[in-house]
Amino acid sequence: MRLLSKRTALVLASLGVTAGIVAGESALAGVAPAGPESAPAAREGFSMIPGSLPPTTDVDMGAFTSPKMTVEIVLAPRSEAELSALLQDVYNANSPRYQQWLVKGEFYTRFAPSSAQIDAVADHLQASGLVIEQSSPFLVRASGPSSAVEAAFATTLRNYRNAKGVTYFANASALQLPASLAAGVRGVVGVTNTLRARPQIRRSLNRVSSAGSPVPSAPACDTPYPTPAQLFGSYVSGISFPYGYGDGPGCSGLTPSQDNAIYGAPELGAVAKGLGVNLAVFELSAYQHSDIATWAHYFYGPHYTPPLVDIDVDGGPLTTSCPAGDTCYPGYIGDIEVDADLEMQLAIAPAAAHILVYNAPADDTGQTELDEYTRIANDDLADVVSSSWAYCENGVTPGFVQAENIVFEQMALQGQSMFASAGDSGAFECAPYPTGLDPASQPWVTAVGGTSFDSFNPDANPNPSYPTGVETVWNVDNLCSDASPNSANDEQGGLFWCYSTGAGGGGSSQYWGRPIYQFGPGITNPYTTYGNGTTQCALAKIGMPCREIPDVSANADEFTPYAEYCTGNASTPESVCATFSGSQIPPGWFGIGGTSLSSPFWSAIIADRDAFLHGRTGNANPLLYFLYNVDYYGFFHDITGIDQTTNNNGYFPTTPGYDLATGIGTPKMGAIITGVPER
């Protein structure tokens, strides 16, 4: 996100993010990934919770105290071996349990921790002075003074300041629990406030001059792809240039017709446009229904009503109910993200029964996000879900990602398809560590990367064909890299361009081993990492290959953008769109990119498939890797990098077959939706 309101800028600054510089760094700069604890031995009768002390070089600012804070203890599922076996069976076409999805509530019945285990944990917390606030069978929520939290986990809480000046609190030693309880606990959420989600979105250039007035003439829709010289002038010197793309209002970007035509959507009517399917988006910001209606009426006519259903969690983004001791950020702080997600799903699945807008307040401990994902799974209303909000894996804790994983396993067993953005800063999204994003790196989430249509501009053609051989990995003019300042990057250094113009995210997981479905040509490659117990798939066995992302990709370049409509006014506090969209030509319309667009794009493709085949696909990854192995070119466009000047995401190269820049590739929509390969 690039043009920010004052408060939104302050919010992002508190996360260690600056507008245009190092937007991909973790809020915990200077904090190494979780590893073996160097703390003193466990208290007698207690056991340490593995991975609960990330070592740090940040400055200790003294004791942290709070009159009331909230923590959540993450409990392991009952019968984990049975859970793992069932996940394999429901995605094994040769199993009698194939796609026999669990019904609402059945996951808890079969796999929730026993009431005795929950009660034992609750008793310990209460004995330490905390008050129990049960949130789900897998999360025992408790609140009380920080001194009681320290007593419960035999640790101390301290304030720290990282190299960027961002302050945060965290435990100073490994968390401990009575040995009789520790084996059934995966971690604790709420003992640090570094879990700060951010959107994965890029806005194409504002078509105004450096003086703030419109450029001399409106851009033609067939302007060439920007040159490095134009980008140097714009991003370094503030010199705007006319730019237009696609047939959106004011040449703002691709239209729904163009989106579908380029990737070959079948012309089969509503049955292949999401008919009867419930899509959902995971959001952390308020938005305006009127924006979505304006967009939809422009493209679908005045009688089309977007089927939006708002479902607020923890009070929603405006009337927040923030966990005690947490900090929440109400308002329209990500309205540009919410609108982009919804408009993208409507572009690909306009006949959907509903688009469920799950919305919680953004926070600092990750508890509201966990609550929202848990609500999506427990409601079991959404057939497909997309999230464009993400954390760096090195900014979250093992306990948090394992809590998420339980929810995503629940979704997978219920047949819900979960998609997430793979990142917008190339291989350097989470500098200084080349790790992935969460939740995209989760094994039961489909990670969606980014590509570019590069020199291909369909102008006003409503039904353009796919530009064979032109689509590249998203890395604008190949500027994103780890190169030192030189003339090729205008003496800014390659990382400046990763964080300014962007590139498709990709890499290996810090936490997760390679899932059973992830196999095929190119999966094991020179960049494959292996579990080492700390920085590389730390939750997997030593030596196991790590989970690799992205799984698939789609256009995400802000210079080959999609047309978005988003506005703001005095009644939309902290609105991002209010800071710039009124100056657009026409007002409110602009081009948008980022893997925040490719994720909802892919989620809507699977919604179309669900509609056409009259049933849930479930987690898409087993299907996608199966198709990759049995008929690659019948279902995907391979982004090879061959004879292309843009051939990496800043670090990982594009190659024939799977690669860490674009995953399997981009969709042939007709084949994915109908199951019939294209020739």
Taking only the tens place, the pLDDT of each residue in 160-174 is: 998 888 899 999 999
Claim to verify: residue 177 and residue 237 sit in the same structural domain = no
* Residue pLDDT, tens place only, 300-321: 999 999 999 999 999 999 999 9
Say if CB 597 and CB 452 are below 8 A apart. Answer: no
**Can you tell me the distance from the alpha carbon of 189 to that of 204, in angstroms, rounded to the nearest whole number?**
37
Q: pLDDT band for position 429 (50/70/90)?
A: confident
Q: Which of 196, 211, 240 finishes a domain? A: 196
Claim to verify: residue 174 and residue 301 sit in the same structural domain = no
Asked whether residue 167 is domain-assigned, the answer is: yes
**Can you tell me the distance from the alpha carbon of 205 to that of 232, in angstroms, rounded to the nearest whole number?**
13
Query: Which pLDDT belongs to residue 408?
Result: 98
Residue 262 CA, distance from chain mean position: 24
| Residue-number span of the structural domain to which 214 is assigned | 202-674
Query: Which pLDDT belongs to residue 40?
Result: 57
Claim to verify: residue 412 and residue 468 sit in the same structural domain = yes
Asked whether residue 507 is domain-assigned, the answer is: yes
Q: Which of 196, 231, 263 finishes a domain? A: 196
Q: Which of 165, 196, 227 finishes a domain? A: 196
Distance linking the first and last C-alpha atoms of the chain = 39
Claim to verify: residue 154 and residue 213 sit in the same structural domain = no
Asked whether residue 300 is domain-assigned, the answer is: yes
Claim to verify: residue 253 and residue 162 sit in the same structural domain = no
Query: Which tokens in the block code for residue 294?
Result: 């304006």
**Can you tell me the distance from the alpha carbon of 232 to that of 527, in angstroms, rounded to the nearest whole number?**
31
Asked whether residue 470 is domain-assigned, the answer is: yes
Write the CB contacts of 37 (distance below 8 Å, at least 6 apart in sequence).
48, 52, 53, 173, 174
The CATH number of whichever domain residue 295 belongs to comes to 3.40.50.200
**Total count of domains within the chain:** 2
Claim to verify: residue 31 and residue 180 sit in the same structural domain = yes
**Can you tell me the distance from the alpha carbon of 219 to that of 242, in angstroms, rounded to the nearest whole number?**
5
Instruction: Tell me which of 235-249, 323-337, 489-503 is least confident.
Output: 235-249
Claim to verify: residue 581 and residue 433 sit in the same structural domain = yes
Q: Which amino acid, residue 38?
A: S
* Residue pLDDT, tens place only, 197-244: 888 888 876 553 333 444 445 567 888 999 999 999 999 998 888 899
Q: What predicted TM-score, i.e. pTM, was given to this entire model?
A: 0.93
Claim to verify: residue 159 and residue 228 sit in the same structural domain = no
Rounded to 10 degrees, the C-alpha dihedral 610/613/617/623 comes to -120
What is the mean predicted confidence (pLDDT) over 524-533? Answer: 96
Asked whether residue 564 is domain-assigned, the answer is: yes
Instruction: Tell me which of 125-139, 412-426, 637-651, 658-672 is least confident.
Output: 125-139
Claim to verify: residue 609 and residue 471 sit in the same structural domain = yes
Claim to verify: residue 496 and residue 613 sit in the same structural domain = yes
What is the mean predicted confidence (pLDDT) over 124-131? Answer: 97
Asked whether residue 1 is domain-assigned, the answer is: no
More confident residue, 29 or 398: 398
Claim to verify: residue 134 and residue 275 sit in the same structural domain = no
Supply the Cα-derived Rg of the chain in whole angstroms. 24
Say if CB 145 and CB 39 are below 8 A apart. Answer: no
Write the CB contacts of 92 (distance below 8 Å, at least 6 apart in sequence).
98
Helix segments in 389-463, DSSP class H: 398-414
Tokens 């892919």 belong to residue: 602
Say if CB 163 and CB 29 are below 8 A apart. Answer: yes
**Can you tell me the distance from the alpha carbon of 413 to that of 496, in angstroms, rounded to the nearest whole number?**
42
**Can you tell me the distance from the alpha carbon of 371 to that of 379, in angstroms, rounded to the nearest whole number?**
12
Query: Which pLDDT belongs to residue 8?
Result: 34
**Can you tell me the distance from the alpha carbon of 22 to that of 199, in angstroms, rounded to the nearest whole number?**
14
Q: pLDDT band for position 394 (50/70/90)?
A: confident
Asked whether residue 19 is domain-assigned, the answer is: yes
Asked whether residue 679 is domain-assigned, the answer is: no
Claim to verify: residue 229 and residue 176 sit in the same structural domain = no
